[in-house]
């Protein structure tokens, strides 16, 4: 569509590319100057497995920039939720952090990813290790009844630099006990363990260090992890992924994928 100089509706300046969904923002919540979440309408034809990611963009260029975002809402939800970092000068997040209800967000049509129940062998417990926005795929999985059908115990860890960055996970878990669909599954089966690395907090330190020292298992009252009983999913910063993967492999865990399920799976928290 051609526009004249002086037009004040930038969203209308660029055509919506074919092969993408154009969805409407329904809510935005800012947590800190680095983190926010937003929800959009869900395309009726979209099917995904809890834990998968999609490519997100904005209709603000002839060829929009797309970035991978884990879907933070469960597969049964009527809307889609995302948890995002705000990167100063970031090609997408610089603009995305300014969206408001009613705005349009673009989404490519094919969800994918390895942080799915299908990529793990059955087990007694599943550990979900996250840092920062890496909690997003787990926000989806811990709201999916299938996760509790597959595992007796679900342990979600979330490590951030500052206390304020934990709020997304805290609100999520607090709301779950009242959730009509998953509330009954989580009672006595979901553990949330949140730690902070750069401020005083009741639980401090990198999760890798807490696992290695054994303090994590003491705190949650579980035995040390074993490949016989336990499964793990890891999502967060590259450093955490690398170090946690090494810890698990040192304990004899093998990595799984969609085509060959294993004892743990890994995916980085994408947007940078
Ligand atoms: P730290 O503050 O000690 O770097 P970021 O905001 O940079 O993505 O980091 C999110 C969290 O991940 C921070 O609490 C950070 O701790 C932690 N982290 C960073 N690198 C590692 C690592 N290699 N192993 C474990 N945790 C890490």
Residue 177: its pLDDT value, please? 81
Residue 57: its pLDDT value, please? 97
Query: Longest C-alpha distance within the chain, in Å?
Result: 67
Residue 21: its pLDDT value, please? 97
Residue 182: its pLDDT value, please? 84
- Ligand 1, atom nearest to 160 Cα: 14
Residue 271: its pLDDT value, please? 58
Give the distance (Å) from ligand 1 centre to CA of residue 28. 26
Measured from the CB, is residue 109 less than 6 Å from ligand 1?
no
Nearest CA to ligand 1 atom 11: 160
Q: Model-level pTM?
A: 0.94
Q: What is the pLDDT along the chain (272 residues), one digit of tens a residue?
A: 444 444 444 555 788 888 899 999 999 999 999 999 999 999 999 999 999 999 999 999 989 999 999 999 999 999 999 999 999 999 999 999 999 999 999 999 999 999 999 999 999 999 999 999 999 999 999 999 999 999 999 999 999 999 999 999 999 999 998 887 788 889 899 999 999 999 999 999 999 999 999 999 999 999 999 999 999 999 999 999 999 999 999 999 999 999 999 999 999 877 55
Give the distance (Å) from ligand 1 centre to CA of residue 206. 7
Helix (H, G, I), strand (E, B) or coil at 97: coil
Q: Which DSSP string corresponds to 120-163?
A: B---SEEEEEEEGGGGHHHHHHTT-HHHHHH-SEEEEEEEESSG
Residue 2: its pLDDT value, please? 42
Give the distance (Å) from ligand 1 centre to CA of residue 215. 18
Pocket test for ligand 1, best of 237, 238, 245 (most atoms within 8 A of CB): 237
Helix (H, G, I), strand (E, B) or coil at 94: helix
Measured from the CB, is residue 208 less than 6 Å from ligand 1?
yes
Give the distance (Å) from ligand 1 centre to CA of residue 67. 22
Residue 165: its pLDDT value, please? 97
Residue 6: its pLDDT value, please? 42
Give the distance (Å) from ligand 1 centre to CA of residue 221. 24
Pocket test for ligand 1, best of 84, 206, 210, 245 (most atoms within 8 A of CB): 206
Pocket test for ligand 1, best of 33, 131, 160, 162 (most atoms within 8 A of CB): 131
Bridge pairing between strands 53-57 and 104-108: antiparallel
- Cα-Cα-Cα-Cα dihedral of 220, 154, 191, 51, to 10°? 130
- Ligand 1, atom nearest to 237 Cα: 8
Residue 272: its pLDDT value, please? 55
- Ligand 1, atom nearest to 269 Cα: 8
């Amino acid at each position: 569509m051609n526009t004249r100089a002086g037009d004040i509706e930038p969203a209308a300046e660029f055509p919506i590319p074919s092969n993408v969904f154009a969805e409407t923002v329904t809510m935005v919540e800012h947590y800190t100057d680095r983190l926010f979440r937003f929800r959009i309408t869900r395309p009726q034809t979209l099917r995904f497995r809890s834990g998968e990611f999609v490519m997100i963009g904005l209709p603000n260029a002839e060829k929009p920039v797309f970035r991978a975002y884990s879907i933070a809402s469960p597969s049964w939800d009527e809307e889609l939720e995302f948890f995002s970092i705000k990167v100063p000068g970031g090609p997408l997040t610089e603009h995305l952090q300014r969206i408001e209800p009613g705005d349009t967000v673009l989404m490519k049509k094919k969800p994918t990813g390895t942080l799915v129940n299908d990529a793990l062998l059955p087990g007694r417990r599943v550990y979900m290790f996250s840092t920062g926005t890496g909690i997003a795929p787990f926000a989806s999985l811990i709201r999916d009844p299938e996760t509790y059908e597959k595992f007796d115990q679900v342990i979600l860890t979330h490590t951030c630099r500052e206390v304020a960055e934990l709020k997304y996970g805290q609100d999520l878990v607090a709301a779950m006990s009242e959730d009509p669909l998953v509330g009954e599954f989580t009672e006595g089966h979901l553990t949330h363990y949140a730690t902070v690395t750069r401020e005083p907090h009741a639980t401090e330190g990198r999760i890798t260090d807490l696992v290695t020292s054994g303090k994590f298992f003491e705190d949650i009252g579980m035995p040390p992890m074993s490949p016989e009983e336990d499964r793990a999913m890891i999502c967060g910063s590259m450093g955490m992924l690398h170090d946690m993967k090494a810890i698990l492999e040192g304990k004899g865990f093998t990595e799984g994928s969609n085509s060959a399920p294993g004892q743990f799976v890994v995916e980085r928290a994408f947007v940078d």
